[in-house]
Amino acid sequence: MVKVLVVSDPPDYDQPWQTQGAESSTGSGVIVETARGLRILTNAHCVQDHVYVEVRRYGRSKKHVATVEAIGHECDLALLSVDDDVFFQGVTPMAVGPVPELGDTVSVCGFPVGGERVSITRGIVSRIDLVRYEQSQRMLLALQIDAAINSGNSGGPVVRGNQLVGIAFQALEDAEQVGYVIAGPVVTHFLEDV
C-alpha cells in the first residue's frame, strides 16, 4: 500500500494563457512488478496535471519523490517510479489475479480523506460490466461493488485473498455504497502496453 501525494497545476480552459493555480491532493497506489522492475500503480486522475509527486509506503513515515513514468487516460491508470531503491526494500509486489465472481467478497484498501492511516473496507461484487470511465468517457470493463470508494481511495488496490483484482477509481454519484473498480484484465493490458 502506498499513499500518493500530488501537487498539480491544472490549466484554465477559459483563459488558456494561465493555469488555475497549484492544488494538493492525495490518492492511493499499489506496488506491482513490471518488465522494468517494481513500480507503483495508481489512477491517472490522481496524477493528472501533476507538478510534483511524492509517495509514502504504508507503515513508513519517509516520503520519496516519484516520477510519472506512464499514464493511460483512457483506462484511468498511471505508473510511477521511485529512484531511491530503499523505497522498494522488503516489498512483495501484488500479482494481478482473475476476475472475481458475482457475490465474491473483496477488500478495498487505501488512504481516504479524513485520516493518515490506511483504511480497509469489504464489499461484495454486485456487477461485472462495461462502465463509462469518468476520466475518458470510454466504456471499459469494471467491477461494481457495495463498498464505499471515497476521495483518497482512488488508485488503491482491491484484493481478494492475496491477489489484486482491480484498482478503485470512482463511485456512483447520488447512490450510497456503489463503487467501481478497474478490472484486472484492464490493469494487465495497461501493464503489458507500457
Instruction: Return the CATH number of the domain spanning residue range 105-193.
Output: 2.40.10.10
Model pLDDT, residue 151: 87
Res 8: pLDDT = 96
Reply yes or no on whether 45 is catalytic: yes
Could you read off the pLDDT of 111-160 as tens digits, one per residue? 998 888 999 999 999 999 999 999 999 999 999 999 888 889 999 999 99
Catalytic residue among 8, 50, 76, 119, which? 76
Q: Which of 178, 105, 192 is nearest to 147 (CA)?
A: 178
Residue 61 annotated to the active site: no
Which pLDDT score, from 0 to 100, does residue 132 have? Answer: 96
Task: Decide if 154 is catalytic.
Answer: yes
Cβ–Cβ < 8 Å for 129, 166:
no
Give the residues of the chain that fall short of pLDDT 70.
175
pLDDT at 148: 81
Q: Where does the chain hold its CATH 2.40.10.10 domain(s)?
A: 2-88, 105-193
Report the pLDDT value the prediction gives residue 34, as an integer from 0 to 100. Answer: 96
| Catalytic residue chosen out of the listed positions 25, 45, 64, 119 | 45
* Dist. CA 103–CA 72, nearest whole Å: 29
At the second CATH level, the architecture of 2-88 is: Beta Barrel (2.40)
